[in-house]
Structure 1
Amino acid sequence: MRVDGILFDKDGTLFDFDATWTAWAGALIDRLSGGDMTRADRIASVMGFDLVSRRFHPTSPAIAGTPDELAARLAPILDASEQQVVAMLNAEAMSVPLAEAVPLAPLLDGLIGRGLVLGVATNDAEAPARAHLDTVGVTDRFAFISGCDSGHGAKPAPGQCLAFARATGLQPARVAMVGDSRHDLIAGRAAGMRTVAVLTGPASADTLGPLADVVLPDIGHLPDWLVL
């Protein structure tokens, strides 16, 4: 069946997860701990981050969860309210050093040139998501941008996927949800969409394969998949 629209996850899909978030997370833990290694260990444990290898565990809540979910775990350690921690996480995320999974502008322009409508659905908050897309100059390529706080819920629930279909007038069955986590693929399937897994996040092909119509190395392989 023809695909008329593509809905992208952001982190681990449009942006390489490790190259973007690993150094940022290590530096954040260092700042929040203030040099207290016991506190650093507690923060890292909650974030699912290994301080020795400086990598996220595959089950880290920072990978596919929302800022609210992570803030609920961090607040007791930081002696702050959940709302304060969410605000801090969103502000910190604005300055993350971005690493595009592939050169985004030419890829997105090529997809639009094929008549495809593009969107973004992320479990990040909408403001940081827009800031990240602005930084690499591709915000205007997307007809729809939704974060976990945009009023459509968070993945793995299908609300953001269905909102994209409503906003663009596309049938869900003719949309491909592209993501690097089980949350992305579960949401896409629940919305009745095609599901495309990419391996630019922490999850493996074995983890994502059962939920995907196809597993690709990265989004740069989408044009070839679309013509199959």
Structure 2
Amino acid sequence: MTGGTVGALRALVFDKDGTLFDFHATWSGWTRSLILSETRGDHARAALLAEALGFALEPGRFSPDSPVIASTAAEIAALVAPHLPAADRPGLLERMNALAAEAPQVPAAPLAPLLAEFRQRGLRLGVATNDSEAPARAHLGAAGVTAAFDFVAGADSGHGAKPGPGQLLAFARQVGLPPSACAMVGDSLHDLRAARAAGMTAIAVLTGIAGPDELAPEADAVLDSIAALPGWLEARNGA
């Protein structure tokens, strides 16, 4: 565990997939649908596409190094395109984003009461995801929690993608706080490294693919899920 910033935290910025929403439960179906719809019954091509995405069609699970975990939609499209020579890249990306916007999200914890509790504590809240912004907003809207957030950014929002710090620094500017008063909460090394680059506290959760042994060396805290955040914050902030 690395040393974090000192002082009370006044803002939290969350990754979306694997953090606010359980990764496997949400994205296994999307990945399967993408592979099957794009390969149109070509089983050999579907197998190649699944391998490129680090995904086992049976039983529908991701490998720990799957690029789907932390890549942007554009990066995933670049991996998929060589296996779909008839597909144009912009059209493929558009179909991926449309499919993502419709993907049913499975919350990692009851979101509305948890986020309401954070707001009652006076915390400012944001979302920084490597998903595209439109699907991200669709997912938050479907969960009924968009209004809880002061800031929502995707990889296509103009701030760059994680592990770069751009989204996190934009959040800090939006809420008028120094990065040292903010924490990034995420399930991947991309999230934790973005926090480090931005000068924020790095909090890891285990509702994604990565395990504690992978995350702990770069995290200030490793929690089972965002449901553990209130207790951790009480201990951290002394309130």
1:47 aligns with 2:53: yes
Counterpart check, 1:14 vs 2:20 = yes
Shift of 1:170: 0.8
Please, which moves more after superposition, 99-108 or 80-89? 80-89
Structure 2 residue 234 is the aligned partner of structure 1 residue 227: yes
Classify the secondary structure of the residue corresponding to 2:108.
coil
Structure 2 distance, partners of 1:33, 1:82, is 15
Q: Where does 1:113-192 land on structure 2 (aligned, <5 Å)?
A: 113-192=120-199
Question: Equivalent residue for 2:62?
Answer: 56
Structure 1 position 27, deviation (Å):
2.7
> For 2:25 and 2:87, how far apart are their aligned partners in 1?
29
8 A Cα contact 2:168 2:194, kept in partner:
yes
Q: What CA distance in whole angstroms lies between the structure 2 residues aligned with 1:136 and 1:54?
A: 24
TM-score (norm 1): 0.98
SS at 2:229 equivalent: helix
1:34 aligns with 2:66: no
Q: Does 1:67 align with 2:61?
A: no
User: 2:158 & 2:30 partners in 1: Cα distance?
Assistant: 27
Q: Secondary structure at the match of 1:96?
A: coil
Aligned partner of 1:77: which letter? H
Give the superposition deviation at 1:36.
1.4
Structure 1's consecutive aligned runs of 4 or more residues displaced over 3 angstroms after TM superposition are none
* Structural RMSD (CA): 0.9
Tell me if structure 1 keeps the 8 A contact 2:127–2:152.
yes
5+ long unaligned stretches in structure 1: none
How many residues are paired up?
Answer: 228
The Cα of 1:52 is off from its aligned counterpart by: 2.8
AA aligned to 1:139 is T
Q: What aligned pairs does 1:79-94 form with structure 2 within 5 A after superposition?
A: 79-94=86-101
